Chain A
Amino acid sequence: MDSAAVRATVEARLATRFPNALRYQAPAPSECVSSGIAELDSVTGGLPRGAVTEFFARPLDVFSPRPVVNSVGRSGFTLKKEIDNAPLSSGCTSVMLSVLAEATATRQECCALIDASNAFDPASAVAAGVDLTRLLWVRCSGTKFSNLEQVLKVTDLLLQAGGFGMVIVDLNDVAPSVARKIPLATWFRFRRAIENTNTALLVFEQEPYAKSCAALAACVQRSAFNIQHSAEPSHARLLREMGISVAVVRWA
């Protein structure tokens, strides 16, 4: 019996319980929700639910221009050059607060923020319009486990529990040399956990770690800032604004 006949037989036997059991089924298009930033929404259509979205801060020119597959079969971007690890003012947190404000205040969803470095500022969040009562803030202090272990454990628990409109993992202050050690299988597990759910998993980081597991990856960078240089005395100067540019790198 040739393979086509075997396949037809198996499919016929399973047809009542699993229609098209041996045929490729394209995943259903995921629903997108607004990020609260009209310009970003106009490009991407919003943030996908049931998928992983990455916002990273490293400038794009340090990565290879195209996704590559490394020796262990991981696809993604590779660093062209190693640069200093000190985090910059990229605007990632501003984007995060905007997304949270849209989810908690406008859509009135419950969200979770897994804060790897205990850096979340509630006052900034309130000023950005976040409804703190709908935001579960998990501060990873690294007492029992390391910060990163805590982040991964908590993310697993929250994704498996379900019911959160958005789960945000803030790895902005985690050194890339440490965060790169997160196995790709972990990101696959996260992606699998939220597939076909209403939860959107957002990761804010210095580099893209989830690679091909992310449905949307965007590079966030500060484009400009405005401190009044000329004003005297110095206390009359004000840090007025900071421009942020977002470049969509992957949109599956």
Chain B
Amino acid sequence: MFAAIFIPDFPLEAIVRAEPLLRERAVAVLEGAPPLERVIIANANAQVAGVVNGLTKAQAEQSPKVVLRARSGEQEAAAHAALLDCAHSFSPRVEDAAPDLVLLDIAGLDRIFGTPQKIARDLGSKISQIGIEARVGIASNIETAQHAARGFEGVTVIPPGEEALRLGPLSVDVLAPAPEIMQTLDSWGIRTLRALASLPPIPLSERLGVEGLRLQNLARGEGSRPLVPTDPPLHFEEAMELEHPLEMLEPLAFVLNRMLETLCARLQTRSLATNELRLRMELESAPPYPDFLRNVRLPVPMLDAKVFLKLLQLDLEAHPPQAPIRKIFLQMEPARPRQSQNGLFLAVSPEPEKLELVLARVAGVVGEKNLGVAEILDTHRADAFRMRRFWPGGSKQEVGGRRDGNNRLAMRRYRPPLRANVLTHAGEPVRVSFLNIRGEVTACAGPWRTSGEWWSNDGWSRDEWDVALQQKNGLALYRMYRNLASESWFVEARYD
């Protein structure tokens, strides 16, 4: 058995899928370069309002209730990809026959999905979930399924042996014959498939040749074309061209939410998740500037549109676009979903989805660079570290400290080190003042000379001291150093 999914008025459906509120309104799709745009598709409401195919844009604009939209290649590509995803969620053997037609082999799927009737219904409802109204046809051969989908509304299941009977009432148009053959058939008064099927084959072949016989076989529901499975690369991208450029981030959230939900639904049909979101936006002042790009990387694959929306919102609040937004492209990098086994005795750790949101929010408060895990660099330079992204399940660090109760003294760093005025006697500091702190040195140890990276501009050379400073309110221990290049003293840290 084979199933065919056909989308009538595909360019219009692709637009309505991106803007669901248009479904109930009168909509017409325009194509062509301005000012020669013409209506190529008008829905029923638009036709009632007087807009028909072939009208110019100026003529169509005479009907104020009709919404006019330019044909969008990106939206059609996204709708077609979504359609393929739906088909792949039912069968691994899928043929990408045309932008508005997808064929799939459903032989042997009855054990998984049930009867052909149920499969057809499920296919229809799944496609409607992604915002497209489709026609589904199921038959014993590809051609019959395809013609059933093209010819009948909704879901049609043709049992084996009833092909000719069920296809009979359909117009000859569904076979898409060549114009001259169509004209000949019309002149004979042959307008339905039943009439074509009942013609005697030999005289038909004498008049219309092999093509005539082929059309008759199709009209009788006889087909033997094999399915040509296609396996397109996984590409999850949605595009949205905005009617009016967006200046504020708040209305943008509604657009992004719709796109994220669509992409998440597509990923779900493939049993996939994502670990990276790529947002590209064409700005109104685009020609002098490149497109606005933002990437949101996730530590684990996730599939939660709400989380993604919040992450994008936080990211855009931190890095807003510099001009009104004209066009939005949102892409998700597919990844296998995270599989984890929780245990009763595992240490507590934040949930990944929640953690990502919290980290993004915290980054909005303190800045991205001030958040994460400290990684000590392999250098002798004091206080050399870099910040890494925090992820509880990340690589483990070998704990280097001694756990015998005699741990090294803890220091509190001053970043950057504080310049100090130091009075020395016999080379040792005896009195120190910095900020609003001053005091006598009661004990000191040092100097220990360190230097490094003399070959670069960032080299250092200094004498380090540990000093005990008697302040007004008590004693404090400091790590100080004298920069040998500038002969200046600095307070680097306090022992605490």
Q: In the complex the two chains form, what is the Cα distance from A138 to B349 in whole Å?
A: 17
From the candidates A86, A117, A133, A161, name the one contacting B358 in the complex (CB within 8 A).
A161
Min Cβ gap B475→A in Å is: 7
Whether a CB of chain A sits under 8 angstroms from the CB of B411 is: yes
State whether B445 touches A121 (Cβ < 8 A): no
Chain B residues with CB under 8 Å of A118's CB are 370, 413, 415
On chain B, which size bracket covers the interface?
Answer: 35 or more
Whether a CB of chain B sits under 8 angstroms from the CB of A45 is: no
Chain A proximity mask over B461-477: 1 for CB below 8 Å, otherwise 0: 00000101001111111
Whether a CB of chain A sits under 8 angstroms from the CB of B428 is: yes
A83-B473, A242-B495 as given contacts; A235 in contact with B447, CB under 8 Å:
yes
A86-B471, A164-B350 as given contacts; A128 in contact with B413, CB under 8 Å:
no
From the candidates B350, B365, B385, B412, name the one contacting A93 in the complex (CB within 8 A).
B412
Min Cβ gap A151→B in Å is: 9
State whether A130 touches B443 (Cβ < 8 A): no
How many A-B pairs have beta carbons closer than 8 Å: the answer is: 225
Whether a CB of chain B sits under 8 angstroms from the CB of A51 is: no
State whether A88 touches B354 (Cβ < 8 A): no
Please report which residues of chain A, range 90-124, place their CB below 8 angstroms from some CB of chain B when the two chains form the complex.
90-94, 96-98, 101, 105, 107-110, 117-124
From the candidates B357, B370, B402, B472, name the one contacting A84 in the complex (CB within 8 A).
B472
State whether B347 touches A88 (Cβ < 8 A): no
Chain A residues with CB under 8 Å of B444's CB are 227, 234, 237
State whether B472 touches A227 (Cβ < 8 A): no
Whether a CB of chain B sits under 8 angstroms from the CB of A20 is: no
From the candidates B411, B448, B473, name the one contacting A235 in the complex (CB within 8 A).
B448
Whether a CB of chain B sits under 8 angstroms from the CB of A212 is: no
Please report which residues of chain B, range 381-404, place their CB below 8 angstroms from some CB of chain A when the two chains form the complex.
383, 385, 387, 390, 392, 394-397, 399-403
Q: In the complex the two chains form, what is the Cα distance from A239 to B359 in whole Å?
A: 39
User: Which partner residue on chain B sits nearest A98 by CB separation?
Assistant: B407
Q: In the complex the two chains form, what is the Cα distance from A241 to B373 in whole Å?
A: 28
From the candidates B387, B397, B400, B493, name the one contacting A121 in the complex (CB within 8 A).
B493
A89-B495, A107-B347, A110-B349 as given contacts; A133 in contact with B407, CB under 8 Å:
no
Q: In the complex the two chains form, what is the Cα distance from A133 to B387 in whole Å?
A: 11
Please report which residues of chain B, range 409-423, place their CB below 8 angstroms from some CB of chain A when the two chains form the complex.
409-415
Whether a CB of chain B sits under 8 angstroms from the CB of A68 is: no
User: Which partner residue on chain B sits nearest A117 by CB separation?
Assistant: B412
Min Cβ gap A238→B in Å is: 6
State whether B370 touches A139 (Cβ < 8 A): yes
Chain A residues with CB under 8 Å of B427's CB are 234
Whether a CB of chain A sits under 8 angstroms from the CB of B437 is: yes
Min Cβ gap A5→B in Å is: 46
Whether a CB of chain A sits under 8 angstroms from the CB of B319 is: no
Q: In the complex the two chains form, what is the Cα distance from A126 to B370 in whole Å?
A: 19
Whether a CB of chain A sits under 8 angstroms from the CB of B286 is: no
Chain A residues with CB under 8 Å of B341's CB are none
Q: In the complex the two chains form, what is the Cα distance from A118 to B409 in whole Å?
A: 18
Min Cβ gap B220→A in Å is: 66
State whether B447 touches A234 (Cβ < 8 A): yes
State whether A93 touches B354 (Cβ < 8 A): no
Q: Can you identify 16 A-B contacts, CB atoms within 8 angstroms?
A: A83-B473, A89-B477, A110-B350, A120-B412, A129-B407, A131-B397, A132-B373, A133-B395, A135-B374, A136-B359, A143-B367, A158-B358, A161-B350, A163-B348, A237-B444, A237-B445
